[in-house]
Structures are given as C-alpha cells and as structure tokens.
Structure 1
C-alpha cells in the first residue's frame, strides 16, 4: 500500500521493524563461502591489490554471494538503495526504471543495488519483504529506511533527499559526490507537484482534479492512477464516522457503516479485516447494493501491490462470493 500521506509513517514503521530484526551480517558467511573470493574494496573506493573493483556505474545487480561486499561494505562509504524486484512483478517494471534514472542523476551520492528475489530468495527473506517491489536504504552497514510499492517519482525524490540529508555527515561518499557534481537543481513534474501540494494542504478535491488532469493527458500513467486512488481513499477515511465499526457490527445491513468501517480498518493497517468485512457484505447483498460493495472493495485492492498475497486471497474469495 502506498499512501501519499501515510507513506512516511509506513516507511518509518518498516525501517524500525527491520532495524530490530535485520542483521545484514547474516549473509556474511554465505558471501565469504566461495573459495578465493576477492576481498571487498575499501571505503575509499580503491580496490585492494589482487582484489576486484566495485561494481561499475550507479546501477548494478547483486547476488547472495556479492551482497556483503557490494551492499554492506559499500554502504560504509555511500548510501546504497536496494531494489527487491522480480521479472513477473508489474509494479516493479514501473518503479525500477525510475530508480535507475535517479541513480544515474545522483552522480555517486547513492547507488542502486538491484536484487532479483527469485534468483536470490535469501536476501528477500533477510529483509522480511512481504511484497515487491520493496526498496531498502542501507547506510553504515544497516537498513535505515524502506518503502514498498511503486511510489510517484516526486515522493521518491523527497525520500532520497531526506536520506541524503540525514546521512551526509556519516557517509563520506555522499558529500564527496555532491562536491564533485556541484549544485544541481532537481527537475520536478509540475503536475505532480500541484497535486501533492493540494494533498498536503488537505484539499483533496483539488488533488483529485490535478491527478485526473494528468490521466486525461496520459491514461496509462500508473503513478497518477495509484496516487488518485490514494487521494480518494484518504478523503473518505478522514471523513469517516469514527463509530462506523460499532454501527457496522451492530447492524450488518447498514451498507454505509460497512464501507466506512472497512476504510477505517485499511487506515489502521488491518486490510484482512476490511476485506473479510466487505466480502461478507457481498455475500449478504444482491443487486445494486452488492455491486456498490464490490466496487468499493475493488477500489481498496487498488491501494495495494497487485502481488500482495492478501489481495490475491481476497480476490479469490470475492470471486467465490459473487459466483
């Protein structure tokens, strides 16, 4: 789920959980297992005698065998962004090109380490990735922040900027790259900027209109579609009756209460409860009422990564309830 307003809180929760549970040295023994493996380059980027140079460029593939040197040890000097992806993942195909382009623009302030989770399942397990794409920031040998799903490019830029600001004094490679590059003005899509500013000001109608204008011009713009779904949901959730769940549980026939209660459960990070509630309501209703509940549930699905197992399970249960 990628909520424009809640992404910072969700990201913080994910990174906090990882900082408690993830020890990146868990792959060290595996990384060192191949015989005669070259030593990792020192933090100044110069390869040791007889060793291998760090991966070329700002974007490179990482495997379980190279993770220790190419991610953990490299992160002692510069910010490493790990992109957990898979060939079959639709949102990954939206997100990865954006990350790759931003990494090239960064001039070495940070680098992008791409991990194919199908070929390297232990890395995904290490991070406890529940869905993909999942993007993890590594600094000074430990995860410092993360997000999942295909966020809009402006949000990714803000996320990266906040990380660089927070880690600049700890990772010498950031400042060195920025000094070498000189001041750079990051381009922004003014259409997304307009929408995000309206959203931050709580003007959901204006934000919705701005995203709809983008989609009028670019119907296939997946980032705008995702952001529009988030705006609509947030507007509903903030206007929802806080007693909706009590009312919904007391009167299963109250459709307004059922829909509002599901929104509250999604907002409180309990999608399974929301999906169960609405699927049960679909089973009890017919005609226009059933169609209304179905459309609301499908709109909630759009808030999540299509590969999310919870969404897949709920879609199957919805199909069973309908047919």
Structure 2
C-alpha cells in the first residue's frame, strides 16, 4: 500500500521512547491520563498525555495501538485525527487510538520528530502518526482520506496478527463501528469469528503457535474454501519458521551466500513478517533468476507460499506473480 517504512524490527532501538513509555505507579487501563473532547467512553479512541502514552505503548503487547498528534492551536490538524478515529471504531476493538495534543505534550512531538529522522522519511515530512506493536514503533504515512485511513489500519492489523498480536481492546465494541444501519443490520460491524478461528487467535494471543496452526488446519479441513483460515495458517506457519531467528545474523548470512536458498528464503520470511513484502518478493524472484533445477524450484515454491501468507488478492502479490512469470520464462 505504501513504500514508507513499516517495520518494528528495523527501528528497534532507533529512538529512545522509554522515558515516555513508563506508566506511573497505579496507572489504570489503557488511555490513562486521557482528557478532552477528542476521546470517547468506549476506550477505542482516547486523548492522552505523556503518562497515558506509556500505558498505551505497553498495551500494544496485546493489541495494535496507533498514536497520532494534533495541535489545538492549529484546528486544521484535527482532520486526520477524525479520519483515524472513524476507521478505528470500524475495526470494532482490534485497534486502539491515542490522540495527543502536542500543545499540552510537546515532549511526545519531539520524540516523534526523532523517530521520523531515524526512519529516513523525505525531508520536510512530518511524523504525526505511529503504530506500536509489542512496544516497538512503526511510522505511518500521511492519511489523505477516509479510505486511506481504513486501508492503513487493515494493514496494521494484518501485520499485528502475523506477529502474534491479536488481542482486543477491553470492552464490548461490536456496537461502536461507525454509522451502522439504523435498521439494526450488521453493516460494518465485524461478525463474530467462527469457533476454530477464535480458537486460533486465542492461541496466538497466549503465544501457542502450534495450537493456532492446529486450529487453522482443522478449519481448512472442515472447509477447503475457507480463505481466511488458509491465510491464518500461512501466517502462523511463517511465525513458526522465524521464531528465535536473529535478523542481523540472517541478513549477514544471506549477503555472503546470494544463491543459498535456505539463507535467502529465511530473510524473505523475516521481511514479510516485518512488513517489507515487496523486498521479500524481489529477493526470491532474483533468486529464481540466479538458480536452476531443484534450487530454482525450491525458491519458486517458497515464493508461492509467501503469496498465500500475504493473500492472493493483494496488489503486491499480483505484481510479483507477473514478475515471477517473466523470471521463469
């Protein structure tokens, strides 16, 4: 969807947010320190100060958190916040949004500015919105429209699930999705997950990847047309393959052995897990070009498997399929 940096691992340690991310003793539920008209009683969108910031960052170990900046002294800066808030509520508890008035919390704005510099954004690009997964920051691009906000959050949720962060914001949020039909029909409200899917996500949340894989496998066996179960199984399998792998060591090994299928596919897996989908696809397509016979087939099969992990309807998959065909023929 975007070429902007979107990878927690690449930014690990790049900016010290620890001073902001420490909740005070006795801090309450996520969103503590929230005040002002921008927040809500549903817990999905909360106004936060520096203290509330730490609580939300800690909560990102259970579900994805997005924190966005605006300034009360600049009313025009409120537009993207409202777009995000609408999109967050439509996610029905899969994401929480923290809203910071930088007139009241300038230290958070300074931290975001440092983060934008570390992420090597184009000169002059303001860093106003950051997602957090497991406490790690991921800069997000500007949000020009409601549609862009929706697409952005869908990508955040997808990456969160692929990293084992699949919890929900506490509370019953099914009725909070924006602008549902007045006749009481489902509209945009998220439907209840099938039992095996719920079992799988519960297992992911508690860190039991094998149980999650087993649940998704049973769902596929029960319904071979269940695309969501197939996607979930592929993502969990990816998480299992990369568990405990040192990213820097894996990259160094791949750099030393450009035609080593095992080394290159491992880095491709890590790239997909970190959100660098296009990089992973290009790496394996180049590997297909550089190898032959069994090695070439192994690289091709691994790439096809990653297509399933990302999702066959994803535009990046469509482009990569075309590039793979050109590499093969």
Task: Give the structure-2-normalised TM-score.
Answer: 0.47
Higher helix fraction: Structure 1 or Structure 2?
Answer: 1
Task: Give the structure-1-normalised TM-score.
Answer: 0.48
Question: Highest Rg: 1 or 2?
Answer: 1
